[in-house]
Amino acid sequence: MQPGSCLRQVRERLGLTYRDVEQSSYELASKHGRPEFIIHISRLADIENADVTPTLHKLYTLCTLYHLDVFEVCQWYNIPLDEHFRDSFAHGTKNTHLGTAPRRLRIPLRFDPAFDARRTDSLTRVVESWKHFEGALLNGTTHRYGYIGTEDRWMDPLVRPGSLVLIDPSVQIVEDGGWRNEYDRPLYFVDFRRGYRCSWCSRDRGRLILQPHPLSASAPECHRYPEEAEIVGRVVGVAMRLTEP
Please write the tens of the pLDDT for every residue from 184-209. 999 999 998 888 999 999 998 889 99
* Residue 99: per-residue pLDDT: 77
**Between 71 and 207, whose confidence is greater?**
207
The 10 Å Cβ neighbour count of residue 25 is 23
Residue pLDDT, tens place only, 34-46: 999 999 999 999 9
- Element containing residue 117 per DSSP (H, E): none
**E strand spans, the chain:** 97-99, 104-111, 127-134, 144-147, 164-168, 187-191, 196-204, 207-211, 221-224, 230-239
3-76 homologous superfamily:
lambda repressor-like DNA-binding domains (1.10.260.40)
For residues 109-127, give the mean pLDDT. 71
Residue 124 pLDDT greater than 90, yes or no: no
* Residue 58: per-residue pLDDT: 96
Domains of the chain, by residue range, sit at 3-76, 105-139, 144-239
**Between 115 and 36, whose confidence is greater?**
36
* Residue 187: per-residue pLDDT: 96
Q: Which CATH architecture has domain 144-239?
A: Ribbon (2.10)
Distance of CA 43 to the CA centre of its chain: 33
Task: Tell me the whole-structure pTM to 2 decimals.
Answer: 0.64
Residue 137 confidence class, pLDDT cut points 50, 70, 90 = very low
**Between 108 and 128, whose confidence is greater?**
128
